[in-house]
Structure formats: C-alpha cells, structure tokens
Amino acid sequence: MTDGKGVDAGLLQTRYRLTKQRAAILRALEDGAHLTAETIHERVRVELPAVSLGTIYRTLDILRAIGLVQVFAHGGAARYEAALDKHHHLVCVACGEIVNVPAPQVAAIALAVAQDNRYSGIDAAMVITGRCARCAGLARNGLS
C-alpha cells in the first residue's frame, strides 16, 4: 500500500505530476488489493465516469515506471498493486487469495544463481502456491 509521502517522493523524482487519473488509480489500489486493470477501471469510473480503459493501462504503465505501482502476473490476467516495498507472493490455488510476503533471502539466492550463470542486473520474484488456512481447513473437513 502506498502512503502520501511515497507518492509525493516518487512523483517529485520524475517529470510526472499527480493528475486526477493517477490519483484516482492510486486511491483504487489503496486497500492493498491485487486488481486487474478492468477492476481498477470500474473503481475509477465511480469517480471519473468518462475515463477509458486505455487511459487506465497507460496510467498504470507510468505509475509502474515511477515505482508507485507493481504488476503481478500468475496464471492469468496481470494484477496491479500499490506497493513500494519489494515483496513476494503466496497464492491460494483454491480461492485465489494473494498475500504479500517479505522474503529477503530470495535476493541472495537470485544473486548466487545469476553469478553462477554470469548474469548481471537481475531481479527476482517468488510465487508460492498452496492452500490458505481457510481453504486447507475446508479441505480437511471435506467441504472443498
């Protein structure tokens, strides 16, 4: 989730200003959810009825380039989130819940693999799939 300071700092370091569309998209993402562009479009249209899906995509690309929005793609449509911190994801294969998790160890593993293969300028994203506690409980009780 973003905070006002992070948004202001991110925009100040770029040539971009906080337009009404950018602000509306960041507000649509402020609950920490991982949303598709279409869902963001629906949320933003409540505030800005004339905004197009194309504008949403272009604005998301700008916000991603600035570092105010991250994109997460796993098994389907890309999902966007307003998260300034580096993190990884747990994904429930039953209900689709996505949880952000810090995993600083991933950077060291990625660096070692990259060095072994003579790669530089690397980044790594880890996705762990399984069943969340709720779905695992339902499965144990024969309800899923």
pLDDT tens for 72-81 read 888 888 999 9
> Which residue range is the domain that position 24 belongs to?
4-81
Confidence bin at 8 (pLDDT 50/70/90): low
Please state the domain count of the chain: 2
Confidence bin at 95 (pLDDT 50/70/90): very high
Give me the pLDDT at residue 103, please.
87
Answer yes or no: do 45 and 101 share one domain: no
Answer yes or no: do 76 and 93 share one domain: no
Give me the pLDDT at residue 2, please.
45
CATH code, 94: 3.30.1490.190
Give me the pLDDT at residue 1, please.
44
Give me the pLDDT at residue 48, please.
97
**Residue appearing with tokens 């339902």:** 138
**Residue appearing with tokens 């959810």:** 33
Question: Looking at residues 109-123, what average pLDDT do you find?
Answer: 93
Say whether pLDDT at 141 is over 70.
Answer: yes
CA distance 111 to 26: 32
Answer yes or no: do 33 and 95 share one domain: no
Beta strands 98-101 and 127-130 are unpaired
Give me the pLDDT at residue 117, please.
96
CA distance 76 to 81: 15
Say whether pLDDT at 130 is over 90.
Answer: yes
Answer yes or no: do 39 and 101 share one domain: no
